[in-house]
Structure 1
Amino acid sequence: MAENKTQPTTQDVAAFLAALEPAQRRADAHAICTLLAEISGTAPVLWGSIIGFGRYDYTYASGRSGTAPRLGFAPRKAQHVIYLMDGFDGHADLLARLGKATTGVSCLYVKKLADIDVAVLTEMARQSWAMMAARYPA
């Protein structure tokens, strides 16, 4: 079975963040990184271009297994992608209060932090972290 492409690295997260352009994207990425580190109580680790917090092991019904970050984000060129592993089912109230963002299955897409309510993002990230801790105890 093929190995997952996204693996933890020993690359320096601070250097990765410092290299982001433009300045607003870099500032937003620093703020998201600080927020997720506070929620998780873990240091950030680069998983390719994803900044991950914590980790968990999973196995799908198909037998495919791997390790992934419990919480994370990727400062992409067009927008920040915040990975909330519990997804968005049952979070309509939070999404309605969040502000200008779009979603995928477990991805929250934010162009800039000024477009959203960071307190709502904080609650969403806390709920995702708690769900992952319950589902995949350390």
Structure 2
Amino acid sequence: MEHPVRRADGLALDALFREVTGWTPVMWGPTIVGYGRYHYRYDTGREGDFLATGFSPRKSNLSLYIMPGYAERDALLARLGKHKTGRACLYVNKLADIDMGVLAELIADGLEDLGRRWPVSPS
């Protein structure tokens, strides 16, 4: 059975990501909703394409992808609300736990940072 809060949060995130990015989402696999894309190439020669930003409404939490990560975003994260972070993932249990305005700032800041490293384009 579908979780009604998770579905509502997913729809709210879609609206927020569309508003901040101006882009239409594309599915990256079965569960990740992505906005924009970038092509990377490392010094090792490894290269590929990945979403510029997005989210996944997973069963246990909402996983938000802000590239290239959260290392230099402590001031924004301190204002966000209840969350956990991974390398490029932000985990929240429900949107009611966080400040959506701060999340919008994080998304925009992440896209700006990513754009300084790699060219970002719409999905």
Fold match by TM threshold 0.5: yes
**Residue of 27, 41, 58 corresponding to 1:46:** 27
**Alignment partners' CA distance in 2, 1:107 and 1:51:** 13
For 1:43 and 1:120, the matched residues in 2 are separated by: 21
The alignment yields a C-alpha RMSD, in angstroms, of: 1.3
Matches within 5 A, 1:47-62: 47-48=28-29, 49-62=31-44
Which whole-Å CA distance do the structure 1 matches of 2:55 and 2:41 have between them? 22
User: Given the alignment of the two structures, is residue 78 of structure 1 paired with residue 60 of structure 2, yes or no?
Assistant: yes
1:113 is displaced (CA, Å) by 0.2
Asked whether 1:27 is paired with 2:34, we answer: no
Cα distance in 1 for partners of 2:116, 2:45 equals 22
Q: Which runs of 5+ in 2 are unaligned?
A: none
Greater relative contact order: 1 or 2 (C-alpha under 8 angstroms, separation 6 or more)?
A: 2
| Percent of aligned pairs with the same amino acid | 46
Post-superposition, which runs of at least 4 consecutive aligned residues in structure 1 deviate over 6 A?
none
Higher CA-based Rg: 1
**Number of matched residues?**
119
Counterpart-to-counterpart distance in 1, 2:55 and 2:34: 7
Match of 2:50 in 1: 68
Query: In 2, distance between residues paired with 1:129 and 1:92?
Result: 16
Q: TM-score, normalised by structure 1?
A: 0.81
**TM-score (norm. length: structure 2):** 0.90
Instruction: Choose which of 89, 108, 129 in structure 1 pairs with 2:90.
Output: 108
* Structure 1, gaps ≥5 residues long: 1-19
Q: Distance in 2 between matches of 1:38 and 1:130?
A: 15
**Match status 1:134 vs 2:103:** no
Structure richer in strand, relative to its length: 2
Counterpart residue number, 1:11: none
Per the TM alignment, residue 90 of structure 1 is displaced from its structure 2 partner at its CA by 2.1
